[in-house]
Structures are given as structure tokens and as C-alpha cells.
Amino acid sequence: MCYKTANVICIAMLGLMAPPSANAELVRGAILQDTHKSWEVDNRPTGKGWGEKPPAGQGYAVATGRKKQGANGINYHGGPLILGTTNVYYIWYGNWAGNTATSILPDLATGLSGSPYYNINTTYYNGSSVAVTNATLFKQSVTDNYSHGTALADADVTAVVSNAITSGALPADPNAVYFVLTSADVNETSGFCTSYCGWHTHGSIAGQDIKYSFVGNPDRCPSACEAQTTSPNGNAGADGMASVLAHELEEAVTDPDLNAWYDTLGQENADKCAWKFGTTYTVSNGSQANMKLGARDFLIQQNWLNASGGLCTLAY
């Protein structure tokens, strides 16, 4: 699903939103424990940060959908996961000239591989009990000079990814996640900065099931999508994007087609820990961080551990 803004509360069972104080933790409603009966079905992820009841006769029954998950607060619904090394591609949309994000975010994708943080994802597995691998590989990036203007609809984001692949600029890689990273002058009109900070989905492009994500530069709306006004790498927008990007990546790996791992409310693993950062430390410029990936410090949200009863954590 999406990485929701810091200044909205989601009453998950009703889909209502209201603004609390800035940088509040995401609230998911009062009914988080497993109280469903065996004939009920889990809400489905929408890709925008909330779940919806599936159409009649199309739900994945709780009674069968939980055979693989035990009591960890998140359910397996039979869909595929990204297994083996997850390749990462960036599409820099808009104006990124001179912006240090173009080095910070590739370093993030590289640094996640083999980290205790990304290892949390190895607690997720498919129907054959094959687990996610603690391995990412930053493969390639391309630029897109406002091919669809500065106001993007969801369909425009899809078109940006499709054009990059069908033009040959990027390969059609089914074991990858493609990120459309928009500069601060670009809006995503379905709810960027008001309902979400990023989202992920999938679609058929060039004959492959392509997983892709939108992550916007939160310098457009610091109070909604940045956890702090200063940042470990001296670029608040890029550091804000780093946490959103990590969120969407771990969801795209464990629930790429929106039919694998999510809870009764339709929330995916990272949704359950949005805006929760755990123990932090202070870096030399006074900013807060909670992990070192490679040579860089980052402030990255926690992820949901599918073990030990389920919990938000920074490492496994």
C-alpha cells in the first residue's frame, strides 16, 4: 500500500481521515487484533494506504488464508512474492539537476542489501515456504524531463514506467521494483501530500508483470511527508524520500500483486509501522538517524516482523 502522510489519522475500518498534530504516528483504528470469524474475509490492499472489502465471492477466506501465518498479526493470501535478489530501478522525473538525492537514494538501495533492517523481509515466504532473500541490487536510473507535465495522475505514473521500458531505456525486469521519483515541483493528483507520500502497484508491461512505485519529493509538503526539517545527509527532501522508498520497497517485495501478505484491515507490513522510528541517535549536524547503511546515516521507519507474534522493529 502507500506510505501515508504524517498529518493524517486513518480510521481504517471506515476509511476516514482527519488531521492531528504534525508527525503523529499513523493510527489504524481500534480493531487491530484478530476478531474475525471464519466466514469473513480480509480487506484487500488498495495501493493507497487503506483496505477495502472485496466484492462478494472474491475474497480470500480467513480460514484458508491464515494457514501460513500463525499469530503474527499479518496474513498470507496465496499470491507471489519477489524472491531472490530484488533489482531496483529509478526514474528521475522532473528537475533533479544539482540535487544530492541522485546520490543519496542510490546509496540507500545499495546499502539495504544484506542489512539487519532488510533482513526483516526474510520472515515472509510464499506458498511453498520459500522466503524473501536479504538482497537488493541498484541496477540503473534514467531521467524523464516532464514527459507528462507537472500534474501526474496515477495513469501518468504508469505511462512513465511503461515508456521507460518500451523505449528500451530500462529493461522489462519482473524481479524488480521501478520507482518514479518526482521533483518537488511535481504533484501526483490522486492524493500526494494529502493522503499519502508514496504508493506501489503492478501491471503488465512488455509482457511482464512489472512492479512499480511512486515516491514524490516531500520538499513539496514538509509537514506531511518529512519526519524532520533537518536530515542526516543534509537534504531533507531526499532523506524524507528514503524512508518512503524503503516502505514501498518492502511492501512491493512481500505483496507485489496486492494479494500476498497483509492484515485483516488490508494493511501491508510497512503500513503497520508507518512513522514509527524506534531508537534514534544524533548525527553531527544535529539531525536524528536510526541506522547506518554503507557510509550514510538514515532515519528509516520500522518494518513489521512476521515472527515472535509480530512487532515493529529496525532489525532481525
Q: What is the 3-state secondary structure (H, E, C) of 110-130?
A: HHHCCCCCHHHHHHCECCCCC
Length of the chain: 316
Q: Cα(293)–Cα(112) distance, rounded to whole angstroms?
A: 6
Across 172-197, average pLDDT: 98
Residue 106 has pLDDT above 60, yes or no: yes
The rounded percent of the chain whose pLDDT value lies above 70 is 80
Contact of 81 with 253, CB cutoff 8 Å: yes
- Asked if residue 50 has pLDDT above 80, the reply is no
Q: Indicate the pLDDT class of residue 90, thresholds 50, 70 and 90.
A: very high
Residue 180 is predicted with a pLDDT of: 99
First to last CA, the chain: 22
pLDDT at 44: 84
Looking at residue 305, what is its pLDDT? 98
Task: Say if residue 301's pLDDT is above 80.
Answer: yes
In the structure grid, which three cell numbers stand for residue 306, read together?
A: 512476521
Q: What average pLDDT does range 60-73 have in this prediction?
A: 54
Would the pLDDT of 51 be above 90?
A: no
Cell numbers at 28, concatenated: 489504524
For 108, 170, 171, 173, the CA distances from 210, given in Å and listed in that order, are 21, 12, 10, 7
Query: Residue ranges of the domains in the chain?
Result: 9-313
Q: Is the dihedral of CA 278, 314, 50, 158 positive or negative?
A: positive
What per-residue confidence (pLDDT) applies to 42? Answer: 81
Task: Give the pLDDT band of residue 235 (cuts 50, 70, 90).
Answer: very high
Task: Return the pLDDT at 228.
Answer: 96
Grid coordinates of 56 = 462478494
**C-alpha cell recorded at residue 178:** 521501478
Mean pLDDT of 228-247: 98
pTM of the entire predicted model? 0.86
- Counting residues of the chain whose pLDDT is more than 90, the rounded percentage is 78
Q: What is the pLDDT of residue 52?
A: 75
pLDDT band at 33 (very low <50, low <70, confident <90, very high): very low
Please compute the mean of the pLDDT values over residues 267-278 and round it to a whole number: 97
Predicted local confidence at residue 46, as pLDDT: 72
In this predicted structure, what is the pLDDT of residue 254?
A: 98
User: Which of 81, 150, 41 minimizes the C-alpha distance to 306?
Assistant: 81
The pLDDT mean for the chain works out to: 86
What is the 8-class DSSP label of residue 42?
Answer: P
- pLDDT at residue 41 greater than cutoff 50: yes
Each residue's pLDDT tens digit, 116-174: 999 999 999 999 999 999 999 999 999 999 999 999 999 999 999 999 999 999 999 99
Query: What pLDDT does residue 4 have?
Result: 61
pLDDT exceeds cutoff 70 at 31: no
Mean pLDDT value of segment 286-312: 98
The predicted model gives 227-256 an average pLDDT of: 98
Listed residue (200, 201, 196) closest to 220, CA to CA = 196
